[in-house]
């Protein structure tokens, strides 16, 4: 079709919108809110997702976790539902340290956790106890700022030594020297041998508000258990993660006398950090798109507003339609004119919505960064293209009925309309 024809239609549409500026803007509000909400939600989702992922990746993706009890690959671990499973032991951890069992593992950290109260002089403080192994730092990283971490000898010797998280040190000792002090835990004295550097919250675990002690001491003297809650192993490189997962499964099956190699009879489950990342990504993606779909609902409501206002416009301009028909406009011409007008409203609304959404997303990212979260602002071209095409589609969809109504008007009656 002729270019001039469509440029005339577009000109006419914007002239009509301009003549009823305030009303057009009010009509656009639904679209503006809908589009900006979708964009903001997508941006917040992306920001939160990368925040979560960066937390997990702090450990590196070459970590493998072993949980007691069998669990579905993508489901929650069995221990989450509150069942205490005792199948994983310290001997298992030791077996995984053997190079002939799992050649690519560089360090193994078994965990038995608990909560208790520490007392130093008059100071009392409730905190988490993490019983782990001497090579813990090789698995989860972290720095010791005062003193040192406990040794292999202290672990085998069930030594009563503690390494404090920075918050615990602050709460108990304040300005005082911490290393060398003896704190009371369950009516026994423990010597503080080190303090960890502040690390903040990583993977939703507050690393500073906890105390590290040899797992043997934790199991015998504090918790009174023989099993592990969790075991983490560091693999030398990303390429060896999958192979190591298989090594761990084979080793543990052998140790636990499981002959079924299918995994159905396992009393443990092995997960790599990559699995965890994949699960988190799919959960957060699901949330993002669900929320975006909710926001998109407002576009539907906005579309109904467009239809309403377009029906009013058609009635108001009945005489104009009659005139245009008298001058030779066919049904298609009238239909096209009102469709272009409806799209002009929704597209303008969509573009304003994109600008509003991107600006607000940027402000949110900016504030999050000020609060020292790792929150990237990403301008999503996909979201913009999506918003533009959805706006156009809403205009076409909801403009169709009013435009069809206009195109069917009888020219004589329309010309006579007062």
Partner 1 sequence: MLIRIEDLTKEYISGEVVTKVLHGLSFTIDKGEFVSIMGPSGSGKSTLMHILGFLDRASTGKFEFEGQDVTALSDDELASFRNEKIGFVFQSFNLLPRTSVLENVKLPLLYAKDKSIDVTARAKKVLDMVGLSHRLNYFTNQISGGEKQRVAIARALINKPSVIFADEPTGNLDSKSGTQVMKILQDLNEAGNTIILVTHETYTSEHAKRIVSLRDGNIVTDELVTHRRFAKEGETLK
Q: How far apart are CA 164 and CA 185, in angstroms?
A: 13
CB nearer to partner 1: give 129 or 336: 336
What Cα–Cα distance (Å) separates residue 357 from each residue in 7, 43, 345, 361? 29, 9, 18, 6
Min dist CB 51 to partner 1, Å, is 52
Q: How far apart are CA 62 and CA 238, in angstroms?
A: 5
User: Residue 258: helix, strand or coil by DSSP?
Assistant: coil
Tokens linked to 301: 């409501």
Min dist CB 405 to partner 1, Å, is 15
User: Residue 190: helix, strand or coil by DSSP?
Assistant: strand
Tokens linked to 247: 């090594």
Q: How far apart are CA 99 and CA 105, in angstroms?
A: 8
CB nearer to partner 1: give 334 or 383: 334
CB 395 within 8 A of CB 342: yes
CB nearer to partner 1: give 313 or 325: 325
Task: Tokens 């396992």: give the residue.
Answer: 266
CB nearer to partner 1: give 115 or 327: 327
Q: How far apart are CA 94 and CA 157, in angstroms?
A: 16
Q: How far apart are CA 231 and CA 108, in angstroms?
A: 7
Min dist CB 25 to partner 1, Å, is 18
Task: Please report, as ranges, the residues that interact with partner 1 according to CB under 8 A.
Answer: 2, 4-5, 8, 15, 19, 319-320, 322-333, 411-412, 415
Q: How far apart are CA 410 and CA 404, in angstroms?
A: 12
Closest CA to 399 of 320, 334, 351, 350: 334
Tokens linked to 197: 């550097």
CB nearer to partner 1: give 209 or 333: 333
CB nearer to partner 1: give 234 or 324: 324
CB nearer to partner 1: give 122 or 418: 418
CB nearer to partner 1: give 14 or 377: 14
Min dist CB 340 to partner 1, Å, is 13
Min dist CB 305 to partner 1, Å, is 24
What Cα–Cα distance (Å) separates residue 355 from each residue in 35, 215, 248, 350, 379? 10, 55, 52, 9, 11
Tokens linked to 115: 């909560």
CB nearer to partner 1: give 20 or 116: 20
Min dist CB 7 to partner 1, Å, is 11
Min dist CB 415 to partner 1, Å, is 7
Min dist CB 409 to partner 1, Å, is 11
What Cα–Cα distance (Å) separates residue 17 from each residue in 110, 299, 336, 399? 69, 20, 16, 14
Min dist CB 335 to partner 1, Å, is 12
CB nearer to partner 1: give 253 or 325: 325
> By CB neighbour count within 10 A (0-12 exposed, 13-18 middle, 19+ buried), where does 315 fall?
middle
CB nearer to partner 1: give 301 or 326: 326
Min dist CB 336 to partner 1, Å, is 11
CB 301 within 8 A of CB 99: no
DSSP characters over 23-71:
HHHHHHHHHHHHHHHHHHHHHHHHHHHHHHHHHHHTT-S-EEEEEES--
């Amino acid at each position: 079709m002729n270019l001039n024809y469509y440029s005339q239609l577009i000109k006419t549409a914007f002239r009509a919108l301009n003549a009823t500026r305030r009303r057009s803007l009010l009509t656009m509000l639904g679209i503006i809110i809908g589009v900006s909400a979708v964009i903001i939600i997508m941006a917040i989702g992306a920001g939160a997702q990368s925040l979560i992922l960066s937390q997990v990746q702090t450990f590196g993706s070459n970590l493998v976790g072993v949980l007691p009890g069998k669990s579905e690959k993508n489901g929650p671990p069995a221990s989450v539902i509150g069942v205490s499973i005792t199948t994983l032991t310290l001997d298992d951890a030791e077996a995984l340290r053997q190079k002939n069992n799992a050649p690519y593992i560089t360090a193994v950290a078994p965990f038995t956790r608990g909560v208790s109260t520490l007392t130093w002089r008059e100071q009392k403080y409730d905190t988490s106890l993490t019983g782990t192994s001497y090579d813990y730092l090789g698995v989860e990283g972290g720095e010791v700022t005062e003193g040192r971490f406990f040794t292999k000898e202290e672990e085998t010797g069930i030594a009563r030594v503690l390494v404090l998280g920075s918050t615990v040190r602050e709460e108990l000792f304040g300005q005082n020297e911490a290393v060398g002090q003896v704190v009371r835990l369950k009516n026994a004295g423990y010597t503080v041998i080190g303090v960890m550097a502040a690390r903040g919250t990583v993977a939703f675990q507050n690393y500073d508000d906890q105390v590290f002690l040899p797992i043997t001491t934790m199991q015998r003297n504090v918790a009174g258990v023989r099993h592990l809650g969790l075991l983490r192993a560091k693999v030398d490189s990303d390429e060896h993660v999958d192979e190591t997962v298989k090594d761990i499964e084979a080793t543990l099956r052998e140790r636990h006398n499981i002959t079924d190699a299918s995994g159905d009879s396992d009393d443990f489950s092995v997960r790599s950090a990559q699995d965890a990342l994949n699960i988190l990504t799919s959960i957060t993606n699901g949330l993002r798109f669900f929320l975006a779909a909710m926001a998109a609902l407002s576009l539907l409501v906005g579309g109904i507003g467009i239809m309403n206002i377009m029906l009013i416009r058609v009635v108001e301009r009945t005489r104009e339609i009659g005139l245009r028909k008298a001058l030779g406009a066919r049904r298609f011409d009238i239909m096209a004119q009102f469709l272009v007008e409806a799209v002009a409203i929704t597209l303008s609304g969509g573009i304003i919505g994109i600008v509003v959404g991107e600006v607000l997303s940027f402000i949110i990212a900016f504030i999050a960064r000020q609060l020292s979260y790792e929150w990237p602002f990403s301008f999503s071209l996909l979201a913009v293209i999506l918003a533009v095409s959805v706006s156009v589609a809403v205009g076409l969809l909801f403009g169709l009925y009013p435009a069809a109504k206009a195109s069917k008007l009888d020219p004589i009656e329309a010309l006579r309309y007062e």
